[in-house]
Amino acid sequence: MCGVVGYIGKNLSRAYVMQGLSRLEYRGYDSAGFACLEPETNRLACVKAKGQLLNLVQALNEHPVDGYVGIGHTRWSTHGIVSHENAHPHVDCDENISIVHNGIIENYAAIRAFLQQSNHHFRSQTDTEVIAHLLENECAHSQTLLDAVVKTVVQLQGAYSFTCIGHFFPNQIVAVRKGSPLCIGIGQNEMFVASDVLAFAGLTDQVIYVPDETIALVSNSRVQLYDFNGNVRAIELEKVAISWSDDGKNGYEHFMLKEIFEQKNGIAATLSYLKSIQETVWQQIGLDAQAIKKLSSISLIAAGTSWHAARIGQFFFEEICRFPVRVVLASEFRYMPFFKEENNFHMAISQSGETADTLECVRLIKHAGAHTIGLTNVSSSTIVRETDGFLLTKAGQEISVASTKAFSTQLAALYWLAHRIALEKGIITDKQMEHSCDHLLIAAETLENCIERYRNRIVNELAPYYATFNKCIFLGRNISYPFALEAALKLKEVSYIFAQCYPAGELKHGPIALLAPDTPVILFSTLDPLIYQKLISNAQEVKARDGHLLVFAFEDQSELCALANEYVVIPRVHPLLGPLAMTGLMQFLVYHIAKTRNCPIDKPRHLAKSVTVE
């Protein structure tokens, strides 16, 4: 989940590395560091800082270092506490080699113990530092740098990528990938290395996506690729159209708030893109019309917010396409028995397209010979390159760690795809397909209008009140249950309030014991008449025990509102799109609760935007 950046070329490296790190800080912000080779001596110079990247900027202003070869890192902690000592880059005993690393070295403890017996002195608690010492050890017993790197990587277990520079190889950056993403940008007498092409967007459009289990030796004018046995690999150069937006917050106090208000346009843009490929969509996802007609089930695999979108999407496909859908957490799927099914596909959903657990599931499924499809917001992501086909959401760049518009555009894409499959199967008509697009646009408009309608009440009344609690319960039923899961996750992420979500029907099977004056209950309604009646019964259970109830209801649900201490009312939309219509209001309330509690909304503690470790 860390961000890795490197530069070698005709210019001093620090500005390029720091710009890249600023774009990759979404991958972690526990600490940051920069290392370079001093131009005249080729000695390593390194500056590190605990905390966000701004702290490193200040440290470099106080202790300026620069060179034509440099690497940088922004950290999300896996091994070792957040501290200056554990910040990257890490060095070997004699400070001749400097390493920045993303991923996990699973056997680091055994390697560390072995190296300590050989009198290597460690300065940190991290798994990363063993790479520097191991490479130092192998360099002393190898004739070439490549030979030393090969001997190093074959001893490392886990999923990782790392970049290193050294006093004894001053004209090269070593870059290694196994499992974790890494790419190289090709410039004019300069090269860029990074975890994500965003780091050097606008500086070059020529990119090498480093293959898995590959060593790259990068000079300012040449890239050489080798496999882990030291054999030459062919280079595949790609031209990418990717840009970095420096629009900032556009007057909003936080990126999260800006992105909440960008959802209507993001849904419209996603729908416009999907309509533009309507006739070629099966080719886009690597199938054909006959395969879609025979489709009898699908599997959706995701993590976090994307998993909640998939859980809601399950209702879309089962109701509209009339076949069963399996939704699985990526972190669990990997370690479960896999049964290949006929007439089935597996869709991996990831905002960044770099989620480690989800990517490992894709690789497992492909190895078994089953079909994979990616759904992501990033066209240049690993998931796009490794799946058999893909669809994109058009949310635009999402900066805030807590996902908002990526979630709503995923729902839009899944709703559209369910209808497109149903159309191909002859379950719905062309006219119904057109209506489904209208339904999405209406729900998107409702999403935004509800925020405007309740803005003052949330800011002045509801958020200040609910910000005083330290725990709460979320309830939903049927399609509103996975939405309640997402709401609880959002509250936990940005406000640090302990929030537990339950299916409303399970309340009486244990969780009802938690009802207390200091634990409000937030209930999300549905537009299904039968489920609505069941939710009324659940609300009665809460009130019978003097529980405090906040309800997200729809128009003409006065009976449920009458039971609530507080309620908001959302206009009616298509029943399957109730969660989408409620999304903006839920996020806006959570945002203002976090703001009232003075939380760092865009960069919550311990989190990262892109989860690139298991």
User: How high is the mean pLDDT of the chain?
Assistant: 94
- Per-residue pLDDT, averaged over 437-452, amounts to 94
Is 547 or 251 the better-scoring residue by pLDDT? 547
* Residues 4/182, Cβ–Cβ less than 8 Å: yes
* CA 508 – CA 170 distance, rounded (Å): 67
* Residues 201/244, Cβ–Cβ less than 8 Å: yes
The length of the chain is: 614
* CA 354 – CA 202 distance, rounded (Å): 21
Which residues sit opposite 348 in a β-bridge?
A: 301, 374
* Residues 105/53, Cβ–Cβ less than 8 Å: no
Is 196 or 293 the better-scoring residue by pLDDT? 293
* pLDDT of the residue at 159: 84
* pLDDT of the residue at 82: 83
Q: What angle do CA 337, 343, 347 make, to 5 degrees?
A: 65
Catalytic residue among 258, 405, 603, 609: 609
- Per-residue pLDDT, averaged over 582-599, amounts to 97
* pLDDT of the residue at 222: 96
pLDDT tier at 613 (50, 70, 90 boundaries)?
A: low
pLDDT tens, position by position, 161-180: 999 999 999 999 999 999 88
The answer to whether 2 is a known catalytic residue is yes
Which 3 state secondary structure label does DSSP give 492? helix
Q: Does residue 134 surpass a pLDDT of 70?
A: yes
Lowest model confidence (mean pLDDT) among 83-87, 145-149, 358-362: 83-87
* pLDDT of the residue at 246: 64
- DSSP annotation of 460 reads I
pLDDT tens, position by position, 459-493: 999 999 999 999 999 999 999 999 999 999 999 99
pLDDT above 70 covers what percent of the chain? 98
Which of 97-106, 483-492, 597-606: highest mean pLDDT?
483-492
Q: Does residue 1 surpass a pLDDT of 90?
A: no
- Domain architecture of the chain: domains with CATH: 3-239 (3.60.20.10), 255-596 (3.40.50.10490)
Phi, psi of 441 (to 5 degrees): -65, -35
**Per-residue tokens: 614:** 């298991």
pLDDT tier at 3 (50, 70, 90 boundaries)?
A: confident
pLDDT tens, position by position, 42-80: 999 999 999 889 999 999 999 999 999 999 999 877 778
* pLDDT of the residue at 240: 83
Q: Measure Cα distances from 78 to 27, 468, 496 in Å.
A: 13, 32, 20
**Per-residue tokens: 569:** 């009312």
Q: What residues have CB less than 8 Å from 343, skipping those under 6 apart?
A: 291, 294, 295, 296, 297
Catalytic residue among 2, 36, 437, 501: 2
Q: In this structure, which long-range contacts are made by residues 329-335, counting pairs with CB atoms below 8 Å and at least 24 apart in sequence?
A: 329/301, 329/302, 329/303, 329/357, 330/301, 330/302, 330/303, 330/355, 330/357, 330/358, 330/360, 330/361, 331/303, 331/357, 331/614, 333/301, 333/357, 333/361, 333/364, 334/360, 334/361, 334/364
* Residues 446/581, Cβ–Cβ less than 8 Å: yes
pLDDT tens, position by position, 425-437: 999 999 999 999 9
pLDDT tens, position by position, 374-411: 999 999 899 999 999 999 999 998 989 999 999 999 99
Q: What is the pTM of this model?
A: 0.82
List the alpha helices (DSSP H) in 252-404: 255-261, 263-276, 281-284, 289-294, 304-320, 330-333, 356-367, 382-386
* pLDDT of the residue at 241: 76
The answer to whether 249 is a known catalytic residue is no
**Per-residue tokens: 245:** 């937006």
Q: What residues have CB less than 8 Å from 580, skipping those under 6 apart?
A: 267, 408, 411, 412, 415, 440, 443, 444, 447, 573
* Residues 314/327, Cβ–Cβ less than 8 Å: yes
* pLDDT of the residue at 245: 67
